[in-house]
Chains A and B, each alone.
Chain A
Amino acid sequence: MRVVIAEDSVLLRAGLIKLLETAGFEVVAAVGEAAGLLAAVAEHRPDLAVVDVRMPPGHTDEGVRAALVIRRESPDVAVLLLSQYVEERYAADLLAEHTSGIGYLLKDRVADVSTFLDALRRVAAGGTALDPEVVAQLLLRRGGGPLGRLTPREREVLELMAEGRSNAGIAAALVVSESAVAKHINGIFTKLDLPHAEGDHRRVLAVLRFLDGDA
C-alpha cells in the first residue's frame, strides 16, 4: 500500500516512515508542510495520506484544510489525520463532507503500534477511524432526541461504530459475542427509526445521525 506522510517534526516523520515500512507499507513521499503534501498527493496518487493537523506556516489547522482538499480533488485517496489534540470541530468539518476513507486520531495513538496500524488499514480500505476522545466530545453535544432513548450499552456500541469498528471489533472491545453486538445494533436502528428497507447503509446512517447530532 502506497502512503504519503506529512509531518513537520523531522524526528516524528522519520519514526513514522520506519513504523510504516516495518509494517509493509510503501512510503512514496514524506513532506513537512501542507503545500508539499498536496503536490505529493497529486504526483504520487497514494492510497493513503497520513497528515499532521498542525503544520507550517500557520501552525493551526493546515492539515485539516489540506485533508478536505485531498478528499475533494482525489476521492480515492484516504486521509488519516494525526493531531496533538483531537477536536470535534475539526472532525465535524471532515465528516460533514466525507464519512469514508477518513481517520482522525490523537498523535499519541501511534505509540500503540498494532492498534494504530489497524486504524490505518481500515481508513485506507475506505472505512473511518475516529479517536475515542473525539467521539466523547461529539457525544457531549447530543443531549435529548432519540439518542437519549438508547441504553448505555447501545450507546457504547454506537460510539464504537462511530470510531469505525466492525462488529467483530466492537465485540472484542466490549468483550461480548458478535451476535450480542448485532442485537444491540438492531436496537439502535429501531430507536433511531432507520427502517430495514435501506439495507446495509443503515450502519453509516446511524453513525451519521449520531455525528450530525440531529438524531
Chain B
Amino acid sequence: MAEALAPYRALLASRLRSQLTYRRSFVLDLAGAVGIGVLELAEVLVIFSSITVLGELDLAGALLLFAFAGIGFSLADMAVGHVDSLPTYLRSGTLDAFLLRPLPVLAQLITSDLQLRRLGRTAVAAVVLVIALTMNTIVWTPALVILAVLTPLFSAVIFAALFVCAAAVQFWLVEGGEFANAFTYGGSYAASYPTSIFSLPMRVLFTFVVPAAFTAYLPTLVLLGHAGPAWTPAVLGWFAPVAAAGIWTVALLGWRAGLRHYTGAGS
C-alpha cells in the first residue's frame, strides 16, 4: 500500500515545495484567500445588519451554516478545485501525457496542483465555526458531537465530487468551461444560505440533484433542533454520507465516460 502511494507522495511534495519557494507570492496568495473568505462573511453580516432571522436561522445559526459550508468548500477547492482547468489541458494536449503514465488520470490531475493558499479561506471559516459554536445553544449529545465533527469533512467530500462532475462535463464542452461553475461555485453559494428561503423546485435541485443542502444546511438544522421545511426535513441531516456516496458514484461514472469520449489532441 505504502509503495503504491509513493508516486503520489513524491508528486505532492514537489507541488508543495514549489509553492513555498516564493515566500512573498505565497503570503500575498494566502492573503487573497483570506480576503475571499472575509468577502463571503461580509455578505452574511451585511444582510443580517438589517434583519434578525433568515429562513429559520438567526445570525448565530447562519454563521454555523456558513462555517460548515465554507470549511467544506475550501478544503475541496484546495484538494481538487484545480480540476476545472481541465479545458486548458485538453486544448494544449497536456492530458495526453497523463494518459501515458501508469497512474489513474484523475489521481494525477488531483495531485497536479494542490493549492495550499486556499487554506486561508478555510482558516476564516474555522474561526467562524468556533465563534458560531459558542453563540448557539446546542444540547450536546454524543451523536451530535459526532455529527458536528463529521459535517465539515463530508461537506468537503460532497463538494469534491461536484468538482469532478464539473470536470467530467468539460470533455464534451471544452469551450463552455463556465457551465460547470454554476454547479460548483453556485452549489457553494446556495449551500451558505438556509435552503428554506428557496422555492420548492430550487430546494429540490440543491438537495437531491446538486446535494448542496447536505453540506451544511441540513446538519445545522439537526444541531439546532429545527424541524426543517416540507420535503426536506431535518432528519436528512444525518444522511450526508449517503449523499456523498451518491454524488461520487455519478462523478466517477461521468469521469470514466468523459475519458472514453476523449480522442486525444493529436499531439
A and B form one complex: no
Which B residues lie at the A interface, using CB under 8 A? Answer: none
